[in-house]
Each structure stands twice: as C-alpha cells, then as structure tokens.
Structure 1
C-alpha cells in the first residue's frame, strides 16, 4: 500500500509539472507538445517530406530597418557568405561529381540550411544568404553532432519553428514591437546552438569536431562562461556582436584592405596563445660544445584545438630567426612571402595543422572523400614545449657579438595549395598571415 501511494504521488507530480504553463522555449522544449517543425530525409539526404516552406524564412534585408548594426556585422561575416563563398562553391561542385546522389544535399545542410530543411532544389535569394537571421532565430531546440557515412548522406538535425511570426533570442523580457513576437530562450547562450554544423564526423573520422573539443575542455559544457558565443559573439555595449569572428576573412578583398573584420580576427588570434622562453636565456648559458639551445613554450588559451574546424585547411606555426650582426644564422618557419609553402622537411619546424587523405592517400582539401585523418593540433588549454638546436659546426657565430633571437607564432586561414586552383586567382594573392604572439631577446655568448 505504501508503494502504491508513493507511485500515485509521483504520477500526480509528473502530471502537474507537464501541464504547467510556461512561455519560455526551455520549458516547451521539454513538454510533450510538439514545438518545432519536422522534416524527414531519406537514404540519399533528400527530404521525403517537410513541415517547413521557403516562405517561412524572411530575408535578412527585412531586419535592416530595426537591426541595422546587426545586419551590417552579419553581412560581412562568413555566415552570410557560407553559400556564395568561392572556396565552398568549388568544394560543393566536386562533391556533386564524386557523390552524384548525395553530394548536393550533404554540403548545403550547413552552407545553405534553409534549402536543406525546406527540401528546395531551386536557389531562392534567401538561401543564398547562407546562415541568415531568421534561420538561427527560429531555433527552439538543440541539434546533434552530424555523423555522416562514407556516402555522405545528409542527416543534420535542426529543431526550428519558423514562419510563426516569433523570433527567439537571449534577451530576457524582450520589448514588444509591431513586426514580430519575441521570446527569450536560454538556448542562445549555450554552445549547443552551434550544432549541428560545427561538429561532425564522416565515416567515423572526427573531421571537424570543434564542439566536441570544447565540450571536453569545459567538462561537458557545465559552464556557460566559456561558451562559443562568449568569444565569437562577445557582449559589448549592451548587445552581442554578430560578426561571428573566427579566423576567416573575405579573400576577395585586397590584402592591404584592413577593415573591422580583419582587425577583430587579428585581435581574437592574439588572445589565443601565450608564447614564452622556457627560461631566461640571458641568465642561463645556452652554448654547449658549439650548440645553441633555444627552448620555447606555446600555451593555448582557448577551449578548442588550434586550429579547429577545418583544421586541414589551416596552418599555425612558429617562425624563429637567430641573427648576429644583422645576418640570419639560423631560422625555421620563415617564408619568402604569404603564399609560399612551409618547408615540411624542416625537422625544426613546429607546425599545428591536420591532414586528410583519400583511399589512394591523396591529400584532400575538403572532407567528402576523407578516409584518413592525421591531426597535428594544439589541444585546448594545453602547453607545447619545443627546443631548437643550432649546431655551429661551421664556426659561423662570433663570440664577441650578441645574438638576437626573434620568435613568432603565425597563422594563416588557408594553406596556399588549397587556393592555387580556385577562381578568382586573387584569393591566393589576398591570403594574410596573422601574428598571434611574439617574443624577442638578446643573448650574450658566455
């Protein structure tokens, strides 16, 4: 009898809690009431059916009058150009050739998500806006990591409620306006909002797992303090910026075009690492039997790997120059210009990147044909120690003059090889190299 009473009480509590009225997305998401529009992809990634239509998503231009600053920032962001970006377009075309049944849907599930969830094959203007305002602000639930098979069947999960004249966001008690309803959602403060696009595997290979890296570094995302938004959508002057700053810039702009986007990428990268000598070179004798030993340390300050995302396209490395009498006596990671390739045969080179290979061991620049993945990354919040050894067996060094040592950590968003076969050709010419950190010292030979 006691067991029956306890069971009845629990059922009563459950019933009351389910029927409790609450207007926040968080409560509705856990209610048995359906609160998002669904879609049903088939074995090729095309939709058999969908509850969403193209007219459910308004163009970003309709947000301009009231949200001009947000629009201005978004329009320069990589989200706004996720579809029309020439690098994506080349990869998309290749995917459709290699995977004629699935390649088209696989790529647009993130780069033109409105086309994916509506099942549209015609390219409407709002689809060309990539990740646009009304797409993100229709989120009512979290997606999941995309686990694609070898045939790259699109299966991204979005939980959206578009076309109901309600915009969801992170502002509690939003002001009323005559254009749409506004509803607070705690979802928008969590890194899970960046799923499914920023976390996926292909054939079991962890090709682009930024969210997973973050989730591990933050102990399962228990704190919202270090969310994706806190770095990539920082809260300044009473609002969240909508540049979605990462490491990419618009490569169609001349390399000397320094705009706010470039400056914010530069600033973000400069806060990502700490570079130091392992000990004070001037206080410790580093010359030993004509060998100059230079130990350095690179410390990650970010909550995902460096580089992350399409790490196979990116390069972060250490450039070191040892000079005496203004002449370089030793160097590593030094480039002739921004479009030069790094010398991968240099045993002293400290490089952070990854490589993806096909079944024929060909190096790839996009993921659909990935069969092998070789990460060489700086994991989140870790330190990498590295020692440079210069053996002066040629008697180059002059003991009567000091040695100047310059160490820089550099970054470029694309490996030059990826851009060499992409039109327009100026994309390669406009490839920047960012300085993430720098240390210098002068060493007196004892």
Structure 2
C-alpha cells in the first residue's frame, strides 16, 4: 500500500507539473474544459428537465438510468469516499471526471466526512445529474492523444460551455440552441472515454470495457456501443444475432423524431444505455429506476447460453462439463470492474430419490459464494502480488483472468460418483449474476442491504 500511494503521489505531482497542466487540469483525469476556466459556471449547462420539453423520448430513456444516478449511486459514493480517505484525495478527480464532469470543471465537488459510512461527495445544481444530456452533448473533443496510455479512458474528453449541442445528426436545426455535427458521437470511442479506466499510478487497466469491444468481432463488423446500448433490448438481441449495426437491420422499427417539431427520421436512438446493473436504481427509488432494472434483467437473461455433457471415465468417475457461451455481449462477461462483478455457476446433481450427489455455487447463509464456486471473474492483486484485491486504487495487476470474451466461451468441469446401485441422476445448472458481493455492500453501505442476484439462464440433464 505504501508503494502504491507513493506511485499515486508521484503521478499526481507529474500531471500537475507545468508541462502537463494544459493536458490534465483536473488530474489524474484527462478531462479538459473547452472554454475559459476563469468564467465557467455550472449554469452554463442545462438541467435535463430543460431538455425534456423538446426531447421527451430521450429524457424518458435517460431518467432512472445508471447515467442519471452516476453521481448519487450509493455504492459508487461509498467506494469513492473510501478511496478519498485511503489515498488522501488522489482519486477524487479520477472518479469525478466521468461521474460529474460539470462539477469537476467547475471545481464544485466537495467531500463531506459525515455522509454515508465512509463519507461522501456533494456538488451543485445540474452537476448532481451525473452523466446528463448536456454532459454528453457538449463533448467537443477526444483527448486520447494526451493520455499516458494513448488510449481512451479516465475521462479523456473535452467539455464545452459554449451552448452548442453536438450530436450524430448532420442536418439538425433547433430554435432553442446551436447545433453541430459530431462524428465522435457516432463511434464507440465516445463511450470509451469513460468506459476504460487506468490506474493513474501504474497505468494498469482496471476497467477495459471499451478495449474488450475494440478487439472483438463486433468492432470488426462495425457494430458500435450505441448499436446495443441505445436501442431496445430486443433490437440489441438482433444486432448480436445478425452481427449488423442497428441501422442495417431489416424492419428495425427505430424511426421517429429526434425532437418535437423535427422531421421524421429512419432511426432515432434511445437514451436508456441499459447494461447489467439491476440493483442500484430500484434501491434509490428514483423515477424510471424499476423500468431500467427490468430492462437490465432482460438483457442479462438473453446474453449467455449454457451447454453441458456428462462423460464416464474408465475409473467410474463421472465428469460434468459445462460450457458458458457469451452470445450477445459486445464485451466480456462480466465487464467493467471484473474483479468485483460476480458471474458464477450453480450446479446441483441429485439421484432419482432426490438425494444430493454434488452441490456447488449456492449462496450460503451470509449471502456469499462458498469456496470452490466456479466464478467468471478476474482476480486482482496489489503491487506485492497479494490478493484478491477489491479496492481499485490498490490494484496493480490480475494474476488470474476468467471472463468470457465476445462470441467466446469458458468451460467448467465437475467430478461426481454414483452410489452403488444408482444409475439415474439429474443435473441442474444455473448461470447467476450480481454486480457486487454481500461483503462489498457491507463494506461500502451504511445501511444493511441484501444484495440480489439474477438467474441469467439454466439447463437440466
């Protein structure tokens, strides 16, 4: 830990030095302001409610999404606060750059030690809205060439306060604001600016959702993040099955108007950005949260498939082989903080009378996974190689990687014996998922919350 904090401190000193001041004014993030920092004000950006009048469809999609609660998410806040204390504030801008870009460029993000279990962060006005309409649509530039990794990540974008709304429509006109076409908004690189996270001290990729996509069959087929996460779940399923961008699907049904009074268009993107988190929005009780949680569950229940077979060895031992296929995610399963997400197999084998011959992966009385559970997860270690490590600021590498790549698969094997005289048996296999463990919730949250999980898919033999 001492070595890691030293590395973080060194990184902070470097990026704040004169030669890096223009590239990283909000170090260690790579966020920059396309404007005058001396005159910038939070009110330079619009509240999402102002956008709702002309863009009700987009507002409805965004409201209750993980983007809408990016700043107030209590699990994120708990981890962020713990990082604030353990790194003496060196992670503040790293997280804030993406979770409240407007608050960051205005330097209105403050730590309150009295909030939550470990403290918490506050900001002002529309900066509380997290990743909101005006955050994305005032992004003016990609700062990838200014990063130490020469990769998208750690808020590698510029945000402008010039009242110009940028987006993917080349012919948009509005009586309410200036508009400008942005090719960046049509590409996955736009998303990669936040959905890649590198440790600012050692540059290790803590989160690499964008890179997982970049080297996948989806990228080769020119399928962008937007083709799966800015369309209904049923359309995302078709994109993955047909391996075509959403606009190239026959009868995609995505037409409409981008704004009230606008002209009809062949395709209008939704703004729900549905992923795999079905826990936090309902926990907060925000409007639209349950709808987004239900969509996330639907995505999870349509992304993977199981295969299983049993082979009897010469010594009489039976080997059950379970194969998990990543059929419809354009990134790894799981993705994001792969050392925290939990994707696991639950296997129960019984004889004809119902007596258990094998059980693996069933949650215990403490809502935790028992030892020996097959879990598709990366194992993080610190700078001394010690793990598992679950605090992002301490991660220096992975000593085990077991996530499932796009269109790829992983196998798991279980051995079992049949009692003498028993020839019939039944195998039940489930693939389960949750965003974090019970121990993580207990560490980060002040109030006790039992972490739910979802059965993604199952099969019987």
Query: Is the contact between residue 154 and residue 196 of structure 2 (CA under 8 Å) also seen in structure 1?
Result: no
User: How much does 1:222 deviate?
Assistant: 4.8
Query: Is the contact between residue 112 and residue 128 of structure 1 (CA under 8 Å) also seen in structure 2?
Result: yes
Query: Is the contact between residue 146 and residue 197 of structure 1 (CA under 8 Å) also seen in structure 2?
Result: no
Q: Distance in 1 between matches of 2:195 and 2:338?
A: 12
SS at match of 1:404: strand
User: How much does 1:233 deviate?
Assistant: 1.3
What is the match of residue 379 of structure 2? 355
What is the match of residue 367 of structure 1? 392
The worse-fitting range, judged by mean Cα deviation, of 155-164 and 190-199 is 155-164
TM-score of the aligned structures, taking structure 1 as reference length: 0.76
Counterpart selection for 1:296 from 304, 317, 322: 322
What is the match of residue 55 of structure 1? 43
Structure 2: gaps of 5 or more residues: 1-20, 111-122, 233-252, 256-267
Q: Distance in 1 between matches of 2:284 and 2:32?
A: 45
| Residue correspondence of structure 1 range 28-177 to structure 2 within 5 A | 40-42=23-25, 45=28, 51=36, 53=40, 54-100=42-88, 102-121=90-109, 123-144=123-144, 156-164=155-163, 166-174=164-172, 176-177=173-174
What is the match of residue 369 of structure 2? 342
Q: Distance in 2 between matches of 1:354 and 1:248?
A: 18
Query: Is the contact between residue 83 and residue 129 of structure 1 (CA under 8 Å) also seen in structure 2?
Result: yes
SS at match of 2:323: strand
User: How much does 1:42 deviate?
Assistant: 4.8
Query: Is the contact between residue 201 and residue 207 of structure 1 (CA under 8 Å) also seen in structure 2?
Result: yes
**Residue correspondences, number:** 381
User: How much does 1:223 deviate?
Assistant: 4.0
Query: Is the contact between residue 147 and residue 201 of structure 1 (CA under 8 Å) also seen in structure 2?
Result: no
Query: Is the contact between residue 148 and residue 200 of structure 1 (CA under 8 Å) also seen in structure 2?
Result: no
User: How much does 1:119 deviate?
Assistant: 3.7
Query: Is the contact between residue 144 and residue 156 of structure 1 (CA under 8 Å) also seen in structure 2?
Result: no
Q: Deviations over 1:85-134 (max 9, x none)?
A: 11122222222222335232222111111122334456212111111110
Pair 159,42 (structure 1): closer, same or farther in 2 beyond 3 Å:
closer
User: How much does 1:391 deviate?
Assistant: 2.5
What is the match of residue 447 of structure 2? 425
Pair 262,157 (structure 1): closer, same or farther in 2 beyond 3 Å:
closer
User: How much does 1:43 deviate?
Assistant: 8.8
Pair 223,422 (structure 1): closer, same or farther in 2 beyond 3 Å:
same
What is the match of residue 18 of structure 2? none
Query: Is the contact between residue 84 and residue 128 of structure 1 (CA under 8 Å) also seen in structure 2?
Result: yes
SS at match of 2:345: strand
Pair 223,143 (structure 1): closer, same or farther in 2 beyond 3 Å:
farther
Larger Rg: 1
User: How much does 1:193 deviate?
Assistant: 0.9
- Aligned Cα root-mean-square deviation (Å): 3.2
Counterpart selection for 1:309 from 321, 336, 355: 336
Query: Is the contact between residue 138 and residue 159 of structure 2 (CA under 8 Å) also seen in structure 1?
Result: yes
Query: Is the contact between residue 255 and residue 432 of structure 1 (CA under 8 Å) also seen in structure 2?
Result: no
Structure 1: gaps of 5 or more residues: 1-37, 442-446
What is the match of residue 187 of structure 1? 184
Pair 288,254 (structure 1): closer, same or farther in 2 beyond 3 Å:
farther
Q: Deviations over 1:380-414 (max 9, x none)?
A: 3222233221034xx26623xx3121111111111
